[in-house]
Structure 1
Amino acid sequence: MNLFSYLFQDWAANAGNIKGRFVLFLFRLAQVISRHILLKIIFILYLAFYHYYVEWVLGIELPRKLRVGKGLMLYHGQALVVNQGVVIGEGCTLRNSVTIGHKKLADGRFSKCPRIGNHVDIGANVCIIGDLDIGDHVIIGAGAVVVKSIPANSIVVGNPARILEKKNEATRI
């Protein structure tokens, strides 16, 4: 994938969403710069701008070391917090006030971060914490608190999240 297509890989997924396009372009550019120490030195001011503007002004924590597949969609984005250890697949959707990260264990250490499959739709105010896997084609309803792994093709809701429905291949959207 060339640099241009890498920087704009989320563009089509965020059609009509100027803020989402802008934030994800800045995010992908920060990722490219972070790959090489020389680029980090040359573009230190850009990385500082990215950290300040995206995190402090817009309130969107997308660390440059985060691993995200192409086609990420951001709706609104305010109060979005994603830990840098999280892995997000292709074609996923994140809405406002979503928190995804590790949790503190009883012995004071932190757990691993969640791994999210492809085409996962995460509703507003969702909290996903701990060492868990979310399968492909999962829909997580608004306000859900996910602390256990979710199988593919499921719809989950509630606090704590529970499977409301298991979709089959024929009914999957």
Structure 2
Amino acid sequence: MNFFEFIFQDWRVNKGNVKGRIILLLFRIANFCSTRKIYYYIGFIYLLFYRILVEWFFSIEIPWNVKIGKNLSLFHGQALVMTNQVVIGHNCTLRQSTTIGNKQLANGNYSTSPIIGNYVDIGSNVCIIGSITINDNVLIGSGAIVVKDVPPYSTVTGNPGIAKPRKDTTPIV
């Protein structure tokens, strides 16, 4: 994948969403710089610019070195927070006020962060924390608190999040 394909990989799925397009374009450039050593040194100024613009002005914390698959759709980009250990698959959707990260364990250490599969649709105001896996084709309802693994083709709702199998097992598009 060349540079332009890489940085514009989320463009189509965010059609009509100018803020989402801008944030993801800035993220992909920063991610490109951070994952290639030669660009990391050259791109240091850009990485600083990214952090100030995206975190301070847009109020979104997407670390530049997080692993995110292609076609990420970002709705109402506001108050989205994730750690740099998060892994997000292809064709996922994130909405506002969502937290994805690790949790503090009883011994004072921190867990690893969630791994989110492909075709996962995450509603607004969702909290996904801990060493968990959200499998492919999962819908997570608004306000859900997810602290356990979620099987594929499930819908998660509530606090704590309860996964229920979906009857429709066609991939979420």
Fold agreement, TM-score > 0.5: yes
Structure 1 portions without partners, runs of 5+: none
| Cα offset, 1:57, TM superposition | 0.8
Tell me the residue number matched to 1:79.
79
Question: Which residue pairs with 1:59 in the alignment?
Answer: 59
Counterpart Cα distance in 1 of 2:120 and 2:171: 16
Residues 153 and 172 of structure 1 are in contact (CA less than 8 Å); yes or no, is this contact kept in structure 2?
no
Q: Is the 8 A contact 1:155 1:167 kept in 2?
A: no
Name the counterpart of 1:153.
153
For 2:171 and 2:66, how far apart are their aligned partners in 1?
32
In structure 2, what is the equivalent of residue 127 of structure 1? Answer: 127
How far apart, CA to CA, are the structure 1 residues paired with 2:33 and 2:76? Answer: 25
The separation in 1 between residues aligned to 2:162 and 2:41, in whole angstroms, is: 46
Partner of 1:93: 93
Unaligned runs of 5+ in 2: none
1:142 — aligned with what?
142
Q: Which residue of 1 aligns with 2:68?
A: 68
SS of 2:143 mapped into structure 1: coil
Residue 16 of structure 1: aligned partner: 16
In 2: Cα distance, 1:61 partner to 1:23 partner: 10
Tell me, in whole angstroms, the C-alpha distance in 2 between the residues paired with 1:76 and 1:116: 20
TM-score (norm 1): 0.95
Q: TM-score, normalised by structure 2?
A: 0.95
Tell me which moved more, 40-49 or 102-111. 40-49
> How many angstroms apart in 2 are the aligned matches of 1:129 and 1:171?
24
- SS, match of residue 77 in structure 1: coil
Q: Is the 8 A contact 2:137 2:171 kept in 1?
A: no
**For each residue in 1:11-65, what CA deviation from the matched residue of structure 2 results, as whole angstroms up to 9, or x when unmatched?**
0110110111111010000011112333222222211110011011101111011
- 1:65 and 1:77 map into 2 onto residues whose CA distance is 19
Once the 2 structures are TM-superposed, how far is the Cα of residue 85 of structure 1 from its aligned partner?
0.2
Q: Relative to structure 1, is the Cα distance of residues 172 and 118 closer, same or farther in structure 2, using a 3 angstrom cutoff? A: closer
1:81 is paired with a residue whose SS is strand
- For 2:163, give the aligned amino acid: I
Q: RMSD over aligned Cα, in angstroms?
A: 1.5
Q: Which amino acid aligns with 1:25?
A: L
Shift of the alpha carbon at 1:82?
A: 1.0
Structure 1 residue 170: Cα displacement: 5.5
Contact in 1 for aligned 2:119/2:171 (Cα 8 Å): no
Say which is worse superposed, 112-121 or 40-49, in terms of deviation: 40-49
CA distance in 2, matches of 1:44, 1:169: 44
Alpha carbons of structure 1 residues 61 and 171: separation in structure 2 relative to 1, 3 Å = closer
